[in-house]
Structure 1
Amino acid sequence: MSDSVVQDLLPSPTPVRLLAEDGTTVEGCPTGYERPTVPQLLAAHRKMVIGRRFDAQATALTKQGRLAVYPSSHGQEACQIAAAEVLGPGDWLFPTYRDSVALVARGVDPVEVLTLLRGDWHCGYDPKAVRVAPQCTPLATQVLHATGLASAMRRKGENTAVLALIGDGATSEGDFHEALNFAAVFNAPVVFLVQNNGYAISVPLSKQSAAPSLAYKGIGYGVRSEQVDGNDTAAMLAVLGTAMDRARSGGGPFLVEAHTYRLEAHTNADDATRYRDQEEVRGWLAADPLPRLEKHLRDVGALTDEDVRAAQEEGERLAADLRQRMNADPHLDPMSLFDHVYAVPTPQLAEQRDLLATELKAQEG
């Protein structure tokens, strides 16, 4: 591999940043990226406000026993919203269990988003209808599916791309490396977004990787890579937008590492104080993506109190509707256990189904 090719693959030496933590504009824009327009930033701000309210409501539903578990993305909204905003109508999103806000921003019904976490069903929405794969709990397994679908779309001549979301812990899994290698060899139109929030549950990044940046993991496979300030919404839109455009136009896969932080615990079942201290959390609070973007938009005269109030009211309406519908007990049919296991049920599955049907009928009698 020539030096020039290697240079083309290398990420920026420091994370791409367009907005400072105080909302001021960072002068200059790295080559190859365009600053998002004010309308784009306003749309992202609105969805971030709504997404944060959804996240808070989902957390409350967990405490009320309406959800079995909920992994909050509070603090990672710039990644979530930017991921949804750069998708075209024909593009696909492959999310993890922590990407509920991205699904809501994509337009998926919030109740359907939470169906998995409620324990009703493996997936509450029709993936084909919304172009969103089922949320994935095992680490990195969905990146293989994303790469396979992207390769198939390319073979069919579709001008679309796939965006796969993963966390830093997933980069330690073999599936991640297999997906990058396949994507590079077959020039699949897939973008891998690593939301590096510093921890794989309780395992810090320093015990996962010795690389200077997770973005460097793409070079060995011939995958163009970049690292970006994951709490800078403008930078996220610029880098992800470029990566998706490149993938759609035949430029191949792209690996993006977003440096971010989850302000809440891993899930409601986790005690984050056992592995990180409050000083660290307070330090990241200063980099919260929502006030950073809001401050910037106010400074340039693009955002008013009325705009903020309208977004907050929309978030409250969504939360109220979510509470009402989630408080209704779902109708569960035990026989649905056998649906969608195989396209053609096996004799063993049919036997088990008949056995359960007999037992249920006996109980009714």
Structure 2
Amino acid sequence: MTPFVNVDDFQQAARRHLPRIFADYIDGGAFSETTMRRNRADFERYAIRQLVLAPLDQTADLSVSTLGRRSALPFGPGPVGFLGLYRRDGDIRVARAAAKADIPFVLSTFSINGLETIRKDCGRTPDFQLYLDRDPQVNESHLAACREQGVERIFLTVDTAITSVRERDVRNGFRATDRMTPQLLWQFAKRPIWSLDLLRGGFPDVELVKGRPEFGKGALAQASKLSARLEKNLTWETVAELRRQWEGKLILKGISDPTDAERAARAGVDGIVLSNHGGRQLDHATSTFARLRDVRAALGPDLALYIDSGFRRGTDVVKALALGADFILMGRPFAWAVAADGERGVTQLVDLLREEIAITLNLAGLSSVAELKKAGASTLIDLSDKDA
């Protein structure tokens, strides 16, 4: 088998492995997918300064500490729904690889395998990304499960109260189809390896709502029900109420404007994720990377600033850290990696990104992420600045 050399290789392999309904769900964005394209294009605005003859430790220290917890690397798998549909036990496989790499993993509300299963398998509890249900009792049960399993950080998603249109999903019927159709059966038949792997023992359920008949049976039906049940009336008072209920770390995921970053700083949360949901919500928005410096300034120096959306390269990670990010979450790359080659694929992805970051730092005359953070924006050249 040809080795995986970069993230794009995992994407191509994942598309060969997956039925189109799931490949398009991972890859797709809102409407014209303009925001999704900008998430990639805007990294080109900055170049990295190459400095030579600096005394270097060629075993670069890539560790970071975010909200009091050390991570061996400055990036990790962010929440992606239904990882267990892309390869059987996909959530567990990503969690295992993350644990071995000593990096955090954020589990989605829409995961196939839940907190308890992953904790028992991996020996540690992931962080949890929370979608609020319109039923307060459902939300209370989610928080109770988090407490019971020892979750320390909840990432509340705040940018999906209004559900956008992802045209690839409309064409394929994802989150609209709650049962097998001839179209789906044909897609599955064209992917026999995926079908044999995933469908032995029956179609999976979303563990978090297993045994609750109101959510339906099987992940396809549950995906549709979960989406339809999302709380539409999310406000800053919602955040305040959750802050009162949750004693652990609370991070708001989906802040993309400095005005909201300022309000988050006053709301008593511990941090934010600068995110546009991977270009899956507001079409024709800015990229997250383009807003990073302004959001960092508005948030202040003390709150944790995570960022996601569009990260594919170690150089992307280096640029974001230089401009004020504390940690990078990646969604699609980890979904592609686990779909392409299971836990082994995720481990290869982590290794590739680790190597690219280390090489980039050394060629920039740096030996650690700590040195990079200290140097900050001076590590980069703004190519849009004519005086640079």
TM beyond 0.5: no
Give the greater-gyration-radius structure (CA): 1
Instruction: Report the TM-score when normalising by structure 2.
Output: 0.32
Instruction: Report the TM-score when normalising by structure 1.
Output: 0.34
Ranked by relative contact order (alpha carbons within 8 Å, sequence separation 6 or more), the top structure is: 2
